[in-house]
Amino acid sequence: MESIKVGLLGLGVVGGGTWKVLARNAQEIARRAGRNIEVTRVAVRDVAKARKLLGDAVAVGADPYAVVTDPSIEIVVELIGGETLARELVLQAIANGKHVVTANKALLAKHGSEIFAAASARGVIVAFEAAVAGGIPIIKAMREGLTANRIEWVAGIINGTTNFILSEMRARGLPFEAVLAEAQKLGYAEADPTFDIEGVDAAHKLTLLASLAFGIPVQFEKAYIEGISKLAAEDIKLAERLGYRIKLLGITKRRPEGIELRVHPALVPIKSMLANVEGAMNAVLVKGDAVGQTLYYGKGAGEEPTASAVVADLVDVTRLLTSDPEHRVPHLAFQPDAMADTPILPIDDVITSYYLRLTVADQPGVLADLTRLLADSGISIGSMIQQPTDTASESVSTSANDFVHSADLIFLTHEAFERNVNKAIAAIEALPFVRSRVTRLRMESLA
Ligand code: NDP
Ligand code: HSE
Protein backbone atom coordinates (compact mmCIF):
# COMPACT_ATOMS: atom_id res chain seq x y z
CA MET A 1 0.00 0.00 0.00
CA GLU A 2 1.18 3.53 -0.72
CA SER A 3 2.84 5.31 2.22
CA ILE A 4 1.03 8.11 3.98
CA LYS A 5 2.68 11.48 3.32
CA VAL A 6 3.40 13.73 6.26
CA GLY A 7 4.48 17.38 6.35
CA LEU A 8 6.45 18.50 9.40
CA LEU A 9 6.29 22.09 10.66
CA GLY A 10 9.31 22.52 12.96
CA LEU A 11 12.32 20.34 13.60
CA GLY A 12 13.34 21.47 17.07
CA VAL A 13 13.24 19.39 20.25
CA VAL A 14 9.93 17.64 19.44
CA GLY A 15 10.15 17.79 15.64
CA GLY A 16 13.71 16.41 15.70
CA GLY A 17 12.62 13.65 18.11
CA THR A 18 9.67 12.79 15.88
CA TRP A 19 11.92 12.46 12.85
CA LYS A 20 14.34 10.20 14.74
CA VAL A 21 11.65 7.91 16.20
CA LEU A 22 9.89 7.59 12.83
CA ALA A 23 13.19 6.69 11.18
CA ARG A 24 14.41 4.29 13.85
CA ASN A 25 11.12 2.41 14.33
CA ALA A 26 9.82 2.71 10.76
CA GLN A 27 9.15 -1.00 10.31
CA GLU A 28 7.49 -1.55 13.67
CA ILE A 29 5.34 1.55 13.16
CA ALA A 30 4.26 0.42 9.68
CA ARG A 31 3.29 -3.00 11.09
CA ARG A 32 1.02 -1.21 13.55
CA ALA A 33 -0.35 1.49 11.26
CA GLY A 34 -0.88 -0.73 8.26
CA ARG A 35 1.05 1.71 6.02
CA ASN A 36 4.47 3.34 5.98
CA ILE A 37 4.46 6.82 7.48
CA GLU A 38 6.75 9.02 5.43
CA VAL A 39 7.80 12.61 6.12
CA THR A 40 8.09 14.18 2.69
CA ARG A 41 8.31 17.91 3.44
CA VAL A 42 9.67 19.93 6.37
CA ALA A 43 9.55 23.65 7.20
CA VAL A 44 12.02 25.31 9.58
CA ARG A 45 13.68 28.73 9.87
CA ASP A 46 17.25 27.46 9.63
CA VAL A 47 17.26 25.21 6.57
CA ALA A 48 20.99 24.40 6.68
CA LYS A 49 20.73 23.17 10.27
CA ALA A 50 17.75 20.97 9.37
CA ARG A 51 19.62 19.45 6.42
CA LYS A 52 22.25 18.06 8.80
CA LEU A 53 19.60 15.89 10.45
CA LEU A 54 17.46 15.10 7.40
CA GLY A 55 20.00 14.63 4.62
CA ASP A 56 18.75 15.13 1.06
CA ALA A 57 15.80 12.73 0.93
CA VAL A 58 13.22 15.24 2.16
CA ALA A 59 12.12 18.64 0.80
CA VAL A 60 13.09 21.31 3.36
CA GLY A 61 12.22 24.97 3.17
CA ALA A 62 11.63 28.07 5.24
CA ASP A 63 8.06 28.56 4.07
CA PRO A 64 5.60 26.69 6.30
CA TYR A 65 2.70 27.53 3.95
CA ALA A 66 4.37 25.32 1.31
CA VAL A 67 3.70 22.38 3.63
CA VAL A 68 0.05 23.08 4.37
CA THR A 69 -0.76 23.70 0.71
CA ASP A 70 1.16 20.72 -0.71
CA PRO A 71 -1.58 18.55 -2.31
CA SER A 72 0.37 15.31 -1.73
CA ILE A 73 0.49 15.76 2.05
CA GLU A 74 -2.27 14.07 4.05
CA ILE A 75 -1.17 14.83 7.62
CA VAL A 76 0.42 18.07 8.84
CA VAL A 77 2.38 17.86 12.09
CA GLU A 78 2.57 21.29 13.76
CA LEU A 79 5.60 21.53 16.05
CA ILE A 80 6.66 25.16 15.73
CA GLY A 81 4.80 26.35 18.86
CA GLY A 82 3.33 29.78 19.54
CA GLU A 83 -0.19 30.86 18.75
CA THR A 84 -0.45 33.23 15.82
CA LEU A 85 1.38 31.53 12.97
CA ALA A 86 0.53 28.07 14.31
CA ARG A 87 -3.20 28.95 14.36
CA GLU A 88 -3.08 30.22 10.77
CA LEU A 89 -1.20 27.14 9.56
CA VAL A 90 -3.42 24.65 11.37
CA LEU A 91 -6.61 26.32 10.10
CA GLN A 92 -5.22 26.42 6.61
CA ALA A 93 -4.20 22.77 6.74
CA ILE A 94 -7.72 21.88 7.91
CA ALA A 95 -9.30 24.00 5.18
CA ASN A 96 -7.13 22.10 2.68
CA GLY A 97 -8.56 18.80 3.97
CA LYS A 98 -5.45 17.69 5.87
CA HIS A 99 -5.44 15.95 9.21
CA VAL A 100 -3.39 17.68 11.89
CA VAL A 101 -1.21 16.40 14.70
CA THR A 102 0.03 19.00 17.17
CA ALA A 103 1.86 19.22 20.50
CA ASN A 104 0.82 22.82 20.91
CA LYS A 105 -1.20 23.12 24.11
CA ALA A 106 -1.12 26.94 24.10
CA LEU A 107 -2.77 26.92 20.68
CA LEU A 108 -5.51 24.45 21.64
CA ALA A 109 -6.21 25.89 25.09
CA LYS A 110 -6.88 29.27 23.51
CA HIS A 111 -8.19 28.45 20.04
CA GLY A 112 -9.33 24.84 20.49
CA SER A 113 -13.04 25.59 20.03
CA GLU A 114 -12.41 27.28 16.68
CA ILE A 115 -9.95 24.62 15.52
CA PHE A 116 -12.06 21.59 16.52
CA ALA A 117 -15.17 23.14 14.95
CA ALA A 118 -13.29 23.77 11.70
CA ALA A 119 -11.92 20.21 11.72
CA SER A 120 -15.36 18.67 12.37
CA ALA A 121 -16.89 20.74 9.56
CA ARG A 122 -14.15 19.61 7.15
CA GLY A 123 -14.24 15.98 8.37
CA VAL A 124 -10.59 15.90 9.43
CA ILE A 125 -8.87 14.89 12.67
CA VAL A 126 -6.89 17.14 15.00
CA ALA A 127 -4.87 14.87 17.30
CA PHE A 128 -3.00 16.30 20.29
CA GLU A 129 -1.71 13.52 22.57
CA ALA A 130 1.68 15.25 22.91
CA ALA A 131 0.07 18.48 24.11
CA VAL A 132 -0.57 17.14 27.62
CA ALA A 133 2.00 15.38 29.79
CA GLY A 134 4.50 14.63 26.99
CA GLY A 135 4.82 10.89 26.44
CA ILE A 136 2.01 9.82 28.77
CA PRO A 137 -1.03 8.65 26.76
CA ILE A 138 -3.43 10.59 29.00
CA ILE A 139 -5.60 11.97 26.19
CA LYS A 140 -6.22 8.48 24.85
CA ALA A 141 -6.96 7.19 28.35
CA MET A 142 -9.45 9.95 29.13
CA ARG A 143 -11.07 10.04 25.72
CA GLU A 144 -11.43 6.30 25.30
CA GLY A 145 -10.29 4.16 28.25
CA LEU A 146 -12.34 5.98 30.91
CA THR A 147 -15.34 6.64 28.77
CA ALA A 148 -17.71 4.65 31.03
CA ASN A 149 -17.05 6.95 33.97
CA ARG A 150 -18.49 10.13 35.34
CA ILE A 151 -15.18 11.82 36.05
CA GLU A 152 -15.09 13.50 39.47
CA TRP A 153 -11.70 15.17 39.44
CA VAL A 154 -8.31 15.25 37.78
CA ALA A 155 -5.14 16.33 39.59
CA GLY A 156 -1.72 16.27 38.08
CA ILE A 157 1.87 17.33 37.85
CA ILE A 158 1.72 18.43 34.24
CA ASN A 159 4.71 20.69 33.86
CA GLY A 160 8.09 18.97 33.75
CA THR A 161 10.17 22.13 34.08
CA THR A 162 8.63 23.28 37.38
CA ASN A 163 8.63 19.77 38.83
CA PHE A 164 12.31 19.49 37.91
CA ILE A 165 12.99 22.85 39.60
CA LEU A 166 11.07 21.98 42.79
CA SER A 167 12.72 18.54 42.99
CA GLU A 168 16.25 19.86 42.55
CA MET A 169 15.70 22.75 44.98
CA ARG A 170 14.40 20.36 47.63
CA ALA A 171 16.75 17.41 47.15
CA ARG A 172 19.98 19.19 46.24
CA GLY A 173 19.39 22.65 47.68
CA LEU A 174 20.17 24.19 44.28
CA PRO A 175 19.08 27.77 43.55
CA PHE A 176 16.03 28.36 41.35
CA GLU A 177 17.89 30.09 38.48
CA ALA A 178 20.53 27.36 38.11
CA VAL A 179 17.93 24.60 37.90
CA LEU A 180 15.84 26.55 35.39
CA ALA A 181 18.92 26.95 33.16
CA GLU A 182 19.48 23.18 33.37
CA ALA A 183 15.81 22.50 32.41
CA GLN A 184 16.23 24.79 29.40
CA LYS A 185 19.42 22.96 28.38
CA LEU A 186 17.60 19.63 28.58
CA GLY A 187 14.84 20.87 26.24
CA TYR A 188 12.04 20.77 28.83
CA ALA A 189 11.24 24.48 29.02
CA GLU A 190 8.97 26.43 26.70
CA ALA A 191 10.49 28.99 24.31
CA ASP A 192 9.40 31.56 26.92
CA PRO A 193 10.10 29.81 30.26
CA THR A 194 7.81 32.17 32.19
CA PHE A 195 5.01 30.02 30.73
CA ASP A 196 6.41 27.14 32.79
CA ILE A 197 7.35 29.03 35.95
CA GLU A 198 4.16 31.05 36.24
CA GLY A 199 1.90 28.02 35.74
CA VAL A 200 0.60 29.09 32.32
CA ASP A 201 1.76 25.94 30.50
CA ALA A 202 0.18 23.73 33.17
CA ALA A 203 -3.04 25.74 32.84
CA HIS A 204 -3.04 25.22 29.06
CA LYS A 205 -2.85 21.47 29.64
CA LEU A 206 -5.37 21.48 32.48
CA THR A 207 -7.84 23.36 30.28
CA LEU A 208 -7.71 20.47 27.80
CA LEU A 209 -8.00 17.84 30.53
CA ALA A 210 -11.07 19.60 31.99
CA SER A 211 -12.77 19.54 28.59
CA LEU A 212 -12.04 15.84 28.19
CA ALA A 213 -13.17 15.08 31.75
CA PHE A 214 -16.40 17.06 31.87
CA GLY A 215 -17.43 17.68 28.26
CA ILE A 216 -17.10 21.46 28.51
CA PRO A 217 -15.59 23.83 25.93
CA VAL A 218 -11.94 24.86 26.37
CA GLN A 219 -11.93 27.89 28.69
CA PHE A 220 -8.33 28.79 29.44
CA GLU A 221 -9.27 32.39 30.27
CA LYS A 222 -11.27 31.18 33.30
CA ALA A 223 -8.46 29.13 34.84
CA TYR A 224 -6.93 30.34 38.11
CA ILE A 225 -3.14 30.39 37.66
CA GLU A 226 -0.37 30.76 40.23
CA GLY A 227 3.20 29.64 39.52
CA ILE A 228 6.24 28.82 41.65
CA SER A 229 8.24 32.04 41.30
CA LYS A 230 7.12 33.41 44.68
CA LEU A 231 7.62 30.16 46.55
CA ALA A 232 10.10 30.51 49.46
CA ALA A 233 12.77 27.85 50.01
CA GLU A 234 11.77 28.05 53.70
CA ASP A 235 8.27 26.77 52.93
CA ILE A 236 9.66 23.86 50.89
CA LYS A 237 11.73 22.86 53.96
CA LEU A 238 8.93 23.41 56.44
CA ALA A 239 6.50 21.39 54.33
CA GLU A 240 8.95 18.47 54.41
CA ARG A 241 9.18 18.69 58.21
CA LEU A 242 5.41 18.55 58.43
CA GLY A 243 5.18 15.46 56.20
CA TYR A 244 4.35 17.19 52.91
CA ARG A 245 5.98 18.11 49.59
CA ILE A 246 5.18 21.16 47.54
CA LYS A 247 4.22 20.42 43.93
CA LEU A 248 2.82 22.62 41.18
CA LEU A 249 -0.55 20.96 40.65
CA GLY A 250 -3.22 21.34 38.02
CA ILE A 251 -6.57 20.48 39.56
CA THR A 252 -9.99 20.34 37.99
CA LYS A 253 -12.92 19.14 40.04
CA ARG A 254 -16.64 18.76 39.47
CA ARG A 255 -18.76 20.32 42.21
CA PRO A 256 -22.56 20.74 42.25
CA GLU A 257 -22.14 24.51 41.72
CA GLY A 258 -19.64 24.25 38.90
CA ILE A 259 -16.11 23.22 37.99
CA GLU A 260 -12.87 24.13 39.74
CA LEU A 261 -10.06 24.84 37.29
CA ARG A 262 -6.86 25.86 39.03
CA VAL A 263 -3.07 25.64 38.86
CA HIS A 264 -1.00 26.51 41.93
CA PRO A 265 1.69 25.13 44.21
CA ALA A 266 0.16 22.83 46.83
CA LEU A 267 1.32 20.75 49.78
CA VAL A 268 0.65 17.07 49.18
CA PRO A 269 1.21 14.30 51.76
CA ILE A 270 4.72 12.89 51.41
CA LYS A 271 3.30 9.34 51.19
CA SER A 272 0.98 10.19 48.31
CA MET A 273 1.93 9.04 44.82
CA LEU A 274 2.12 12.57 43.43
CA ALA A 275 4.58 13.66 46.15
CA ASN A 276 7.03 11.10 44.82
CA VAL A 277 6.94 12.19 41.20
CA GLU A 278 10.34 13.81 40.79
CA GLY A 279 12.39 15.60 38.14
CA ALA A 280 10.77 16.22 34.75
CA MET A 281 8.38 13.31 35.28
CA ASN A 282 4.65 14.02 35.04
CA ALA A 283 1.76 12.20 36.65
CA VAL A 284 -1.97 12.59 36.32
CA LEU A 285 -4.48 11.17 38.79
CA VAL A 286 -7.99 10.74 37.48
CA LYS A 287 -10.92 9.88 39.73
CA GLY A 288 -13.85 8.23 37.97
CA ASP A 289 -17.03 7.08 39.72
CA ALA A 290 -16.73 3.51 38.40
CA VAL A 291 -12.99 2.92 38.25
CA GLY A 292 -11.90 4.93 41.32
CA GLN A 293 -8.47 6.57 41.12
CA THR A 294 -6.16 5.78 38.21
CA LEU A 295 -2.63 7.14 37.88
CA TYR A 296 -0.74 7.89 34.65
CA TYR A 297 2.99 8.45 35.05
CA GLY A 298 5.89 9.04 32.72
CA LYS A 299 8.19 11.55 31.05
CA GLY A 300 6.31 14.78 30.59
CA ALA A 301 8.76 16.62 28.36
CA GLY A 302 11.82 16.18 26.18
CA GLU A 303 12.69 15.03 22.70
CA GLU A 304 11.73 11.37 22.33
CA PRO A 305 9.12 11.04 25.10
CA THR A 306 7.10 13.78 23.39
CA ALA A 307 7.85 12.30 19.95
CA SER A 308 6.39 9.02 21.24
CA ALA A 309 3.02 10.76 21.62
CA VAL A 310 3.29 12.57 18.27
CA VAL A 311 4.00 9.31 16.45
CA ALA A 312 1.17 7.54 18.31
CA ASP A 313 -1.17 10.21 16.93
CA LEU A 314 0.24 9.70 13.43
CA VAL A 315 -0.51 5.98 13.69
CA ASP A 316 -3.98 6.69 15.06
CA VAL A 317 -4.80 9.08 12.23
CA THR A 318 -3.46 6.61 9.68
CA ARG A 319 -5.67 3.86 11.10
CA LEU A 320 -8.72 6.14 11.20
CA LEU A 321 -8.36 7.42 7.65
CA THR A 322 -10.65 4.76 6.33
CA SER A 323 -13.48 5.41 8.85
CA ASP A 324 -16.32 7.88 8.22
CA PRO A 325 -15.82 11.19 10.08
CA GLU A 326 -19.03 10.68 12.08
CA HIS A 327 -17.77 7.34 13.38
CA ARG A 328 -14.55 8.73 14.77
CA VAL A 329 -13.84 9.44 18.46
CA PRO A 330 -14.84 13.09 19.12
CA HIS A 331 -11.93 15.53 19.57
CA LEU A 332 -12.87 16.36 23.16
CA ALA A 333 -14.32 12.94 24.08
CA PHE A 334 -17.95 14.15 24.10
CA GLN A 335 -20.04 14.68 20.96
CA PRO A 336 -19.80 18.35 19.89
CA ASP A 337 -23.58 18.83 20.25
CA ALA A 338 -23.54 17.35 23.75
CA MET A 339 -21.13 19.78 25.42
CA ALA A 340 -22.21 21.08 28.84
CA ASP A 341 -22.32 24.73 29.89
CA THR A 342 -21.40 24.02 33.53
CA PRO A 343 -19.75 27.18 34.87
CA ILE A 344 -16.10 27.37 35.89
CA LEU A 345 -16.01 28.51 39.53
CA PRO A 346 -14.03 31.60 40.58
CA ILE A 347 -11.07 30.85 42.88
CA ASP A 348 -12.94 32.44 45.82
CA ASP A 349 -15.41 29.54 45.67
CA VAL A 350 -12.74 26.84 45.80
CA ILE A 351 -12.76 24.61 48.89
CA THR A 352 -9.48 23.16 50.10
CA SER A 353 -7.25 23.12 53.17
CA TYR A 354 -4.47 25.61 53.78
CA TYR A 355 -0.96 26.06 55.15
CA LEU A 356 -0.60 29.49 56.74
CA ARG A 357 2.76 30.79 57.99
CA LEU A 358 3.31 34.08 59.80
CA THR A 359 5.65 35.76 62.25
CA VAL A 360 4.21 37.19 65.45
CA ALA A 361 5.42 38.82 68.66
CA ASP A 362 5.93 35.96 71.12
CA GLN A 363 3.68 37.25 73.90
CA PRO A 364 0.62 36.11 75.88
CA GLY A 365 -2.75 36.08 74.14
CA VAL A 366 -1.44 35.94 70.57
CA LEU A 367 -2.50 32.37 69.88
CA ALA A 368 -5.88 32.88 71.53
CA ASP A 369 -6.59 35.93 69.35
CA LEU A 370 -5.51 34.16 66.16
CA THR A 371 -7.49 30.98 66.78
CA ARG A 372 -10.58 33.02 67.69
CA LEU A 373 -10.25 35.03 64.47
CA LEU A 374 -9.90 31.86 62.38
CA ALA A 375 -12.87 30.26 64.14
CA ASP A 376 -14.98 33.38 63.54
CA SER A 377 -14.15 33.07 59.82
CA GLY A 378 -15.39 29.46 59.74
CA ILE A 379 -11.86 28.04 59.51
CA SER A 380 -11.03 25.00 61.61
CA ILE A 381 -7.41 24.33 62.55
CA GLY A 382 -6.07 20.83 61.85
CA SER A 383 -2.67 21.33 63.49
CA MET A 384 -0.28 24.07 64.44
CA ILE A 385 3.42 24.48 65.18
CA GLN A 386 5.39 27.31 66.72
CA GLN A 387 9.12 27.82 66.32
CA PRO A 388 11.50 30.65 67.18
CA THR A 389 12.05 33.00 64.25
CA ASP A 390 15.58 32.86 62.83
CA THR A 391 17.83 35.48 64.39
CA ALA A 392 17.79 37.90 61.46
CA SER A 393 14.28 39.08 62.26
CA GLU A 394 14.37 38.22 65.97
CA SER A 395 15.21 41.49 67.62
CA VAL A 396 12.32 43.56 66.34
CA SER A 397 11.81 46.66 68.40
CA THR A 398 8.65 48.74 68.07
CA SER A 399 7.13 51.30 70.37
CA ALA A 400 4.26 48.90 71.10
CA ASN A 401 6.25 45.81 72.02
CA ASP A 402 9.88 46.68 72.55
CA PHE A 403 12.27 43.73 72.51
CA VAL A 404 9.57 41.09 72.42
CA HIS A 405 10.97 38.04 70.64
CA SER A 406 9.34 36.82 67.46
CA ALA A 407 7.94 33.40 66.74
CA ASP A 408 6.87 31.74 63.52
CA LEU A 409 3.48 30.09 63.55
CA ILE A 410 2.34 27.55 61.00
CA PHE A 411 -1.32 26.57 60.89
CA LEU A 412 -2.63 23.67 58.83
CA THR A 413 -6.36 24.13 58.41
CA HIS A 414 -9.19 21.80 57.59
CA GLU A 415 -11.14 22.49 54.39
CA ALA A 416 -12.45 26.01 54.05
CA PHE A 417 -13.71 28.36 51.35
CA GLU A 418 -10.86 30.36 49.81
CA ARG A 419 -12.96 33.51 50.23
CA ASN A 420 -13.06 32.99 54.02
CA VAL A 421 -9.36 32.26 54.21
CA ASN A 422 -8.50 35.44 52.30
CA LYS A 423 -10.72 37.53 54.59
CA ALA A 424 -9.12 35.97 57.66
CA ILE A 425 -5.62 36.64 56.28
CA ALA A 426 -6.45 40.33 55.73
CA ALA A 427 -7.73 40.59 59.32
CA ILE A 428 -4.69 38.72 60.70
CA GLU A 429 -2.23 40.98 58.88
CA ALA A 430 -3.89 44.02 60.50
CA LEU A 431 -3.32 42.74 64.06
CA PRO A 432 -0.69 44.73 66.02
CA PHE A 433 1.35 41.69 67.10
CA VAL A 434 1.66 40.23 63.57
CA ARG A 435 5.11 40.97 62.14
CA SER A 436 4.94 39.51 58.63
CA ARG A 437 2.64 38.95 55.73
CA VAL A 438 0.84 35.62 55.90
CA THR A 439 2.24 33.00 53.52
CA ARG A 440 -0.71 30.99 52.24
CA LEU A 441 -0.34 27.71 50.37
CA ARG A 442 -3.13 25.34 49.48
CA MET A 443 -3.03 21.70 50.56
CA GLU A 444 -4.46 18.71 48.70
CA SER A 445 -5.04 15.35 50.35
CA LEU A 446 -5.78 13.73 46.94
CA ALA A 447 -8.05 11.29 48.74
P1 NDP B 1 11.70 24.25 19.50
O2 NDP B 1 11.91 25.69 19.73
O3 NDP B 1 12.78 23.31 19.91
O4 NDP B 1 11.44 24.00 17.94
C5 NDP B 1 10.64 24.81 17.17
C6 NDP B 1 10.84 24.48 15.71
O7 NDP B 1 9.94 25.26 14.93
C8 NDP B 1 12.25 24.79 15.19
O9 NDP B 1 12.67 23.78 14.32
C10 NDP B 1 12.06 26.10 14.44
O11 NDP B 1 12.95 26.25 13.36
C12 NDP B 1 10.67 25.92 13.91
N13 NDP B 1 10.03 27.21 13.63
C14 NDP B 1 9.72 28.19 14.51
N15 NDP B 1 9.13 29.23 13.88
C16 NDP B 1 9.09 28.90 12.57
C17 NDP B 1 8.62 29.55 11.40
N18 NDP B 1 8.11 30.78 11.45
N19 NDP B 1 8.73 28.92 10.22
C20 NDP B 1 9.27 27.69 10.16
N21 NDP B 1 9.73 27.02 11.23
C22 NDP B 1 9.64 27.61 12.41
O23 NDP B 1 10.31 23.87 20.19
P24 NDP B 1 9.87 22.48 20.80
O25 NDP B 1 10.16 21.41 19.83
O26 NDP B 1 10.35 22.36 22.18
O27 NDP B 1 8.29 22.69 20.93
C28 NDP B 1 7.44 22.58 19.81
C29 NDP B 1 6.01 22.49 20.30
O30 NDP B 1 5.86 21.33 21.10
C31 NDP B 1 5.54 23.66 21.17
O32 NDP B 1 4.19 23.92 20.94
C33 NDP B 1 5.72 23.12 22.59
O34 NDP B 1 4.87 23.74 23.54
C35 NDP B 1 5.34 21.68 22.39
N36 NDP B 1 5.86 20.73 23.36
C37 NDP B 1 7.18 20.72 23.69
C38 NDP B 1 7.68 19.78 24.55
C39 NDP B 1 9.11 19.73 24.93
O40 NDP B 1 9.47 18.90 25.77
N41 NDP B 1 9.98 20.56 24.36
C42 NDP B 1 6.80 18.76 25.14
C43 NDP B 1 5.41 18.85 24.71
C44 NDP B 1 4.99 19.80 23.85
P45 NDP B 1 14.53 26.57 13.59
O46 NDP B 1 15.08 25.40 14.33
O47 NDP B 1 15.07 26.64 12.24
O48 NDP B 1 14.58 27.82 14.38
N1 HSE C 1 7.58 23.02 28.93
C2 HSE C 1 6.78 21.85 29.10
C3 HSE C 1 7.10 21.20 30.42
C4 HSE C 1 7.05 20.89 27.97
O5 HSE C 1 8.09 21.56 31.04
O6 HSE C 1 6.34 20.35 30.86
C7 HSE C 1 6.11 19.71 27.96
O8 HSE C 1 4.82 20.10 27.64
**Which CATH number fits the domain that encloses residue 366?**
3.30.70.260
Q: Do 275 and 164 belong together in one domain?
A: yes
The number of residues in the chain equals: 447
In one-letter notation, the amino acid at residue 219 is: Q
248 and 106 in a common domain: no
In a 10 Å sphere around its CB, with 0-12 CB exposed, 13-18 middle and 19+ buried, how is residue 212 labelled? buried
Residue with CA at minimum distance from ligand 1 atom 20: 44
User: Does some domain include residue 54?
Assistant: yes
Q: Do 282 and 328 reside in the same domain of the chain?
A: no
Q: Are residues 36 and 101 in the same domain?
A: yes
Mark which of 312, 338, 364 sits at the end of a domain: 338
pTM metric for this prediction: 0.94
H or E element in which residue 41 lies:
strand 37-43
CA–CA dist 38, 8 (Å, integer): 10
| Residue 152 and residue 273 in one domain | yes
Distance CA 79, CA 14 (A): 7
pLDDT for position 406: 95
Ligand 1 atom nearest 46 alpha carbon: 47
CA angle 130-136-137, nearest 5°? 80
SS3 state of residue 21: helix
- Does ligand 1 have an atom closer than 6 angstroms to the CB of 129? no
User: Is residue 34 located within the same domain as residue 100?
Assistant: yes
Are 160 and 280 within one domain? yes
pLDDT for residue 130? 98
The residue range of the domain holding 425 is 350-443
State residue 252 phi and psi, 5-degree precision.
-135, 130
Q: Is the domain of 244 the same as that of 294?
A: yes
* Binding site membership of 46 for ligand 1 (Cβ less than 6 Å): yes
Return the SS3 of 187: coil
CB-based contact 16:60 (threshold 8 Å):
no
Count of structural domains, the chain: 3
Are both 283 and 380 inside the same structural domain?
Answer: no
Q: Does any ligand 2 atom lie closer than 6 A to the CB of residue 189?
A: yes
Please give the distance, rounded to the nearest whole angstrom, from the Cα atom of residue 306 to the centre of ligand 2: 9
Query: Of all atoms in ligand 2, which is nearest to the CA of residue 195?
Result: 1
Question: What does the pLDDT profile of the chain (447 residues) look like in tens digits?
Answer: 799 999 999 999 999 999 999 999 999 999 999 999 999 999 999 999 999 999 998 999 999 999 999 999 999 999 999 999 999 999 999 999 999 999 999 999 999 999 999 999 999 999 999 999 999 999 999 999 999 999 999 999 999 999 999 999 998 888 899 999 999 999 899 999 999 999 999 999 999 999 999 999 999 999 999 999 999 989 999 999 999 999 999 999 999 999 999 999 999 999 999 999 999 999 999 999 999 999 999 999 999 999 999 999 999 999 998 788 888 899 999 999 999 999 999 999 999 999 999 999 999 999 999 999 999 999 999 999 998 887 444 444 455 555 689 999 999 999 999 999 999 999 999 999 999 999 999 999 988
Residues 250 and 182 grouped into a single domain = yes
- Of 316, 338, 360, the last residue of a domain is 338
Name the strand (E) or helix (H) holding 310. Answer: helix 303-320
Q: Is residue 344 part of a domain?
A: no
- Centre of ligand 1 to C-alpha 44, Å, is 9
Confidence at residue 218, expressed as pLDDT on a 0 to 100 scale: 97
Domain closes at, from 338, 364, 388: 338
CATH of the domain at 64: 3.40.50.720
- Domain harbouring 190, CATH code: 3.30.360.10
Identify whether 30 is part of a domain: yes
Cβ(134) – ligand 2 distance below 6 Å: yes
Residues forming the active site: 205
Q: Are 329 and 374 part of one and the same domain?
A: no
In-domain check, residue 343: no
Q: Answer yes or no: is the C-beta of 190 below 6 A from any ligand 1 atom.
A: yes
Residue with CA nearest ligand 2 atom 4: 301
Asked if residue 147 belongs to a domain, the reply is yes
What pLDDT score does 46 carry? 97
- The reply to whether 269 and 165 lie within a common domain is yes
* Contact predicate 140/151, CB 8 Å: no
